[in-house]
Structure 1
Amino acid sequence: MNKDIAYPPPQYHLTLAAMSPHAVRHIRRLVRTYAAMWEMPHIAEVAELAVSELLSNVIRHVPDRSCTVLLIAEQGRLRVEVGDNWAALPARRAAGPWEESGRGLAMVDLITDAWGVDRTPARPGKRVWFELKA
């Protein structure tokens, strides 16, 4: 076996034709599994919570609910990207005390080391991402 090749590879990519609430649970498990395999089990819970919020935004705001999920382990950190083909950018907002939604991005901001939104080149859409230091 070649010792220069990392196992598992430091990336995992998933394309979903239509995100569903049921699929969120499975993707959380994938995040936990890969975090453990990449020797980052101590950040798995936070990563699961943050990816749940990003996927919930796809379900709520992207008309066709299609998305991609990319996990990247490099330089002592985990980066998770959720991409979609909807041009509208997410906006952090202040939810009122009685509102049932509207706190997701504020929570992602609080629990992750960094997060942001990048427009996808050459087509409508965006990638919402976060990073956690291992």
Structure 2
Amino acid sequence: MRLTVGEHSARHIRRIVRSLLADWELPELYDAVALGVTELVANVVRHVPDRRCRLLVLRQEAGVRVEVADGCAEVPCMEGGLPLDSEGGRGLVLLSEVADKWGVDRRGGGGKTVWFECDTSA
């Protein structure tokens, strides 16, 4: 899906993810995938000036892969030592806890794809 996301987009995307996982008979992955996609969409809202992205949800043999691509060259990083009262900066920490694998791939033209995988075998 090609999207322009806003503050409430994650809620609608979670509904789509729930439907896909139900169709694929993988409801046990919903919590992890929903949290992961919510964090990646929130990063687009916060850090990508035009808020445009491409969302891809792929069924894999052992689970699901989610990719969020955008045109912003800034690569996200996990920030260490955040103050306890900080309102942001924990998204990738959460993602690393719920996903089996995740990463960032730079794309030609200055963009990037942030992806994660959740497996049923984990």
TM-score (ref. length: structure 2): 0.94
Aligned-partner SS, 1:21:
coil
Find the counterpart in structure 2 of residue 119 from structure 1. 106
The number of equivalent residue pairs is 119
Structure of higher CA gyration radius: 1
Gaps of 5+ in 2: none
How far the C-alpha of 1:24 sits from its partner, in A, is 1.2
Aligned-partner SS, 2:83:
coil
The answer on whether the counterparts of 1:32 and 1:45 sit within 8 Å (CA) in structure 2 is no
Distance 1:123 1:66 in 2: 15
Distance 1:44 1:26 in 2: 14
Find the counterpart in structure 2 of residue 61 from structure 1. 47
Q: Is structure 2 residue 75 aligned with structure 1 residue 89? A: yes
TM-score (ref. length: structure 1): 0.86
Distance 1:82 1:119 in 2: 12
One-letter amino acid of the structure 2 residue matched with residue 125 of structure 1: G
RMSD: 0.8
Q: Which segments of structure 1 move beyond 4 Å, counting only runs of 4 or more?
A: none
Distance 2:61 2:12 in 1: 26
How far the C-alpha of 1:97 sits from its partner, in A, is 0.7
How far the C-alpha of 1:63 sits from its partner, in A, is 0.6
Gaps of 5+ in 1: 1-13
Percent identity of paired positions between Structure 1 and Structure 2: 43
